[in-house]
Structure 1
Amino acid sequence: MIRVLPFLFALLLTPPAARAEISFLPAPGPGAGDESGVSGEIVIYSSLDTRLAHPLLAAFQARYPGIAIRYEDLLTGEMHERILRETDNAGVTADLVFSSAMDLQVKLVNDGYAQRVVTAATGDWPGWAMWRETAYALTYEPAVFAWHVPSFADHPPPATRADLLAWLEDAPAAARGRIGTYDIARSGVGYLFLARDQDLFPGIWQVMAAMGQSGVQQYPTSQELLARIATGEIAVGYNLLGSYVAEAVRQNPGQIGMTLPQDFTVVVSRVALVPRAAARPELGALLLDWLMSPEGQSELSRHLRLPAVGLEVAAGESPSGALADLSGLRLKPVPVGPGMLAYLDQANRSRLIARWQQALRPAAP
């Protein structure tokens, strides 16, 4: 076990990870007033887009200027397989793993690929947001609808799944080829969202069938889908990660809109852990400690525009951001824990993907 206490907060660190995209942030170097004495390189594997991650990492480096960071931005499935491969080959892997695929992170813990880390905030962390003091939920992220604003200039965009179904059926010309979502066979979080939809909403397959009839477009990442919403190629994106949509709304005013579903809103979290085979586990633990601190949670909220998990931050003044206020919604958070393993059962997964593919296949004329 690694234990990080406040008086040890200045002893450790190591680099980041990518989606075929690797970036390196050199250590700024100690400046006046730096008393941490921490130096080294930390390796991070993460599914958080590099552009969103860099301001967060810069804030961490401002606290620990002796730390260099190697950040690898990876698809969630690729990240999981890489950790297994590197660990099983008796090598070393990332020092911290930060992923939106909660189920895959829980599986790493369950299968012995992660190590326990007790941070200064562990004792106050919500029970639903951690498992075995090993996997920690750091964000509170809703699945949202994204939409092309000019396409809905004369009428409101869908606010519920029933609204979405009505739009698909009542406006076939406007909807044809202009509904998009994740490819659940390639996107871990897309698969998790659909699995939760199936648990919570018996009518989800009617919605999926209507999407198939409308020529649904599937993408492995949020960025690809949002780029097409910005141009109007896609009119509505279904079940997208809120942080990416909030940032896209900020960057594309008047082009992209965001709606948190009013019937129910699935909430997932980005989960962090320190792998068993980390080369510099002490640095991974230090970064995790910082991310769970009020400072780290504030930075996460500010840059990802998401509510914080940390109780001190959540109880304080809401950070500025499109997702700061979730009041009045029927929120359905996904707890971090062994219940998530059911989503990874291969038989369950195969059945769900097969049913998805069948539902999306347009009926013969």
Structure 2
Amino acid sequence: MIRLALLLWLVAALPARGAEVEAMLGSAAPDAPTVTLRTTTDFHVLAPVLEAFLATEPALRLRYEQWGSNDLLALSRAECAAGRAGADLVISSAIHHMVALVNAGCARPHASAETAALEPDLSWRGELFGIPREPVVMVYNRTLLSPEEVPQSRFDLLDLMRPDESKFRGRVATYDIEESGLGFLLAFSDSLEATTFGSLLEGFGASDAVATCCSAEIIEGVIRGDYVLAYNVLGSYALGLAESEPRLGIVAPSDYTMLLSRAAMIPRGSDAPDPAARLLDFLLSAPGRRHLARARLWVDLDDREGDILEVPPDTSAASRTIPLSLAMLVAMDAQTRAAFVENWRTAFPVE
């Protein structure tokens, strides 16, 4: 049972130092040890998981800060360069940012039974760890598209956007890659994976697709009918809303479905590395994964999701994991990024 009603104090949606949301959970004792978590994950999604951890640590206080991925990178870099850390645990969906921070010496090593049990692609250098695993999906409005009009792959989406009178014209949304670090990562990963990427950009441009921010806003736009479909959306947010929103349909693309694990590190210079390590280990543990699964932050495509998530029949062939690895630094190279953004802007010019 969610303990929100039992929390002793909570301050939400009050920006502080650039944070989009700040909350205090757990003990209200004046001398309670405090662990600070900075993350790109929406508070309402992650809060039940944090409450489950705090149930095992009743004397602990947890400060939660929700950040945009680009701002979180900038702050983490600045603090690392200054030799201090304002956070004790950092979790971001923009895993290329996290690889860059670890590569710059900004992380503290951590080893435990939980980290040792991780799959190889969920751990890097003993300093960066993949927490959940979720699909990157297409979402659509069930009231605006008939079953026959729902694209099951990128090839289908291209075909549907082509006609001059297509109902998709001006009503397909995706991330703005300059505003969203996650959006850049997903688009860049697409460009490495898909033979369709160049055609997708052309299709987006020709059909007046919309580049905007962010996951929650894009999905809400689909539900309202502002968009008939959104491309490259994190599955956790969509799956959570679809449980109570019949207008929202979700497709794991059949040509391939990218799988993303949000990356976590304990910053070098953390003031509370021990409770941060316990929180990290909880998130990596079997009980933690069960709570992450309930929050839709851990999705196993082989388990299926009933009518909520439309999954391709052969997930082993269709799944593509975005790795925690040095390869992610390619996405951080300034020249590579500039060239990629310039190419992207042919489809989404700045107005």
After superposition, the Cα gap between the structure-2 partners of 1:87 and 1:324, relative to the gap in structure 1 and judged at 3 Å, is: farther
Counterpart check, 1:176 vs 2:176: no
Indicate the residue corresponding to 1:232 in structure 2. 225
Contact 1:129 1:336 in 2 (8 A): yes
- Residue 27 of structure 1 corresponds to 27
In the alignment, which residue of structure 2 is the partner of 1:156?
149
Match of 1:3 in 2: none
Give 2:342's aligned residue.
354
Counterpart of 1:210 in 2: which secondary structure?
A: helix
Shift of 1:359: 2.8
Stretches of structure 2 lacking an aligned partner (at least 5 in a row)? 1-11
1:345 aligned partner: 333
Question: For residues 320 and 129 of structure 1, what CA distance do their matches in structure 2 show?
Answer: 27
- Aligned match of 1:187: 180
4+ residue segments displaced more than 3 Å:
16-19, 317-327
Find the partner of 1:282 among 269, 274, 287: 274
Partner of 1:279: helix, strand, or coil? coil
The whole-number CA distance in structure 2 between the counterparts of 1:93 and 1:319 is 38
Note closer, same or farther for the CA distance 1:84–1:27 as it changes in structure 2 (3 Å cut): same
1:326 CA displacement: 7.6
From 290, 300, 310, the equivalent of 2:292 is 300
Greater Cα offset, 151-160 or 242-251: 151-160
**Counterpart for residue 84 of structure 1:** 77
Is contact 1:246-1:305 (8 Å) kept? no
Measured in 2, the distance between the counterparts of 1:184 and 1:304 equals 24
**1:90 to partner: Cα distance:** 3.7
Deviation at 1:186, TM superposition (A): 1.3
Cα distance in 1 for residues equivalent to 2:133 and 2:307: 13
Cα distance in 2 for partners of 1:160, 1:90 equals 47
Contact 1:144 1:241 survives alignment (8 Å)? yes
* Structure 2 equivalent of residue 34 of structure 1: none
Displacement of 1:155 in angstroms is 2.7
TM-score normalised per structure 1 = 0.84
Mapping of residues 262-277 of structure 1, within 5 Å: 262-277=254-269
Cα deviation for residue 69 of structure 1 reads 1.2
RMSD over aligned CA atoms reads 2.6
The alpha-carbon distance between structure 1 residues 328 and 319, as it changes in their structure 2 partners (threshold 3 A), is closer
Residues 315-334 of structure 1: per-residue CA shift (max 9 Å, x gap): 9x899995697862210101
Counterpart amino acid of 2:298? L
Residues 171, 284 of structure 1: alpha-carbon distance in 2 compared, 3 angstrom cutoff: farther
Structure 2 contact 251–311 (Cα < 8 Å) conserved: no
TM-score (norm 2): 0.88
Structure 1 position 86, deviation (Å): 2.1
Identity %: 27
Partner of 1:44: 37
Alpha-carbon distance between aligned partners in 2 of 1:130 and 1:39, rounded to the nearest angstrom: 31
Give the deviation of 1:126 after TM superposition.
0.9
